[in-house]
Each structure stands twice: as structure tokens, then as C-alpha cells.
Amino acid sequence: MKDIFFDQIGVGDQLPSLTKAPITRTTLAYFCGASNDHNPVHVDSDFARASGADDVFVHGMLDMAYMAQLLTAWVPQTAILTFGVKFGAIVYVGDTITCHGEVVEKIDRDDVYILKLKLRAVDQHGESKLSGEAQVRVHAPKDTARP
């Protein structure tokens, strides 16, 4: 994470992407415990198949957590003003998720400097799995920032 100044970022600039290791059944088991979401469609293959799925699939909130990691690797958590996502497609065990972000608007609102971001997460085939938006607060333009 580095200091980000409003005048040093432009519309169209890309956040450093974040690629996670392939998702394993162990990852899902850990996330069940961490999130207290023990829905068997995420860990029990027989249950998932009986529910109509091919196999267990990833919690949508795990994908969202990865996207949040993209943001917090770029700005401090306290700088995130808004963050929302739309779930697009199921993620399965073995998928590798890469999160991307792009600056789509710069807002100077009463000397509060905000960047509006477009976010997306794709699998190893480039299929969109999650899309989102965020607004983050950044430092004042460097030439006006106080030491």
C-alpha cells in the first residue's frame, strides 16, 4: 500500500491486479468456519449434486472478500467509503480468481478527494464472476498537501 494523491491518478488508471491461488476444498472449509456459513452446498459433494449443482461451489462472499483484498492492498481499509458487488457466475473448486479495478471518475467534494472505481473478478478462462464498484478517499493533490 502506498500513499495515493488525487493529482497523481487519472481516469482509466488500473489498480494492481490480485490473483489468488486456485480454490481448494480446504479453502472452502476454512471459509465456512471464518464466515459461519456452513451451507453443505459448499463442502458436501453429495448434497451439492442432490441440489442440482455439478459439485460444491464457492461462497459468493469469498469472491467478495478477494475483491475487498484488492482494495485494501491499494488503500487503507479506512479509506473505503463505499463497496458493493453483483454476483455474476458460480466459482468452483480449482478456479483461479483474478480481481481488477479501474478508476472511472475523480470527485473533489469540498476538499474530500474521492476516486470512483469499477471492479471485476474473472476466472482463469476470463469469465466474469463478480462485478462491483467502490469509492475510496485519497490524499489531497500533492501540491496542496501539508507536510
pLDDT digits (tens, 9 = 90+) for 46-79: 999 999 999 999 999 999 999 999 999 999 999 9
Annotated domain spans of the chain: 11-141
- Is pLDDT above 80 for 143? no
* Banded pLDDT at 142 (limits 50, 70, 90): confident
pLDDT digits (tens, 9 = 90+) for 99-110: 999 999 999 989
- Range 1-23 average pLDDT: 93
Rama region for 110: left / alpha / beta (φ>0; ψ in -120 to 50; rest): left
The letter for the amino acid at 28 is L
Which CATH number is 11-141 given? 3.10.129.10
- Is pLDDT above 70 for 144? no
